[in-house]
Structure 1
């Protein structure tokens, strides 16, 4: 019988959270996790530890706290909508607690997080990708740690040979794209392709297609590290377009992978739309409509129809 994998992020039940926390250095401090499965009660209990600064600085204890923040954010419970704000603020607070963006600390922190969060299981990787995507806009520390974890997962999926967890120049995405032949992956590694597309999307949202001002101004990350060149984006666009075109044909095949093909098509279209929007803005800035104002100067009015530039993509 073929193994079954989750094809969308599934979240966690309380037992999975407890199993992760047992492995953390916080275990003795958080015995309350065994006496309740109420997410608000758990958030309040962790919050008290942070308020009293009972969680000391260091990669191991902070990794446990970050994992708790992310797993409780995705904890299964009734009426998820009513706790959305509390869970989001809690995850933000966990990342901001004793935040330190020094490279060695971030590397050690990510190492410990990945020991607690077993990304060898694709279900866990899907969940972590989603957590990093949601966490990255919440603060500088969340953005840095989330980005480093996403690069680590991309390395695991494509064997890029990274030897440390750190922010990386976005042109390095092209190494992964060059190694992932859509035609081969659609035939033989469908599940990996699903994960790769999701990681790339999350990386772009956490970096050049999101907000990078604080990383540049507060942390001093060089601008070139946070830019995704438009020439590379155009290659990514064509790569995604190949996936989408092939999937449209393969959707006619009725086998056990129809649903996963649909999910990959959905994720690829979402990312394609994101890349297209940024490329369209770029090309519009290059090919603005030149006409003359009443004062004789050339107008910088831009075209307002993205489709005018689709041929350039």
Structure 2
């Protein structure tokens, strides 16, 4: 996956249990697979083929989260290329990959098929959607609903797959595209251009610094208030009265669940991992991943972690 920026994170849920490979070790002909990442050895037909040299896949749910965004309207471009299947072998042409795409929790494309959209493998396809950010967070989720083939050309060849994501404010005319400038000829007085470009670059840099400082302070205030993301152990102790037994509301395989209240009055349920639990950290992380990807009116939404 090609992405830049420390304010991005992702969640990858599921396991390719039927591929016959050791845990976290993958080997596929014509592809190298490491930690759910595909490396393409064949060139992709695209304006920027380097974007499609790698792709991240998931057997169940793959979610990307962008934090500290300014509230407003954004243009989201999702870059795909089918680099796991090939049109060269006749039997491989029967492989079909379907998955659903959600943006801000809304189903945008159902049963999306990269090969059909691009009219072949190793060809780029870009899907574009406009969305609105209201809580400084953008969420993009790819979900495999069990459709398509699973053993062609080999076992474990299914699930969602994406190569790159570009996000820009809707007010920008170009998003995710490099803009090049033509060289200036002598007839247009080239000596004046370096000064103009220098002043423009200085103004642009100052503008980014001012807005960057503003959003950094805003994110720090949100983190201190415990609105979302990560919480310190001290914050959770305060919220649950130091895990008072009177606030205990349940018991699970991983430990106890306590009722708590954040400084802003928000009621939360805190699951405390017990050292006596018979289940390991991996199972605990998988359960948290499942809670993060499932959405239902009767289920508690994941609010953060410690």
TM range (shorter): under 0.3
Q: Which structure's residues are more often strand, by fraction?
A: 2
Larger relative contact order, structure 1 or 2 (CA cutoff 8 Å, min sep 6): 2
Q: Which structure's residues are more often helix, by fraction?
A: 1
Q: Which has the larger radius of gyration?
A: 2
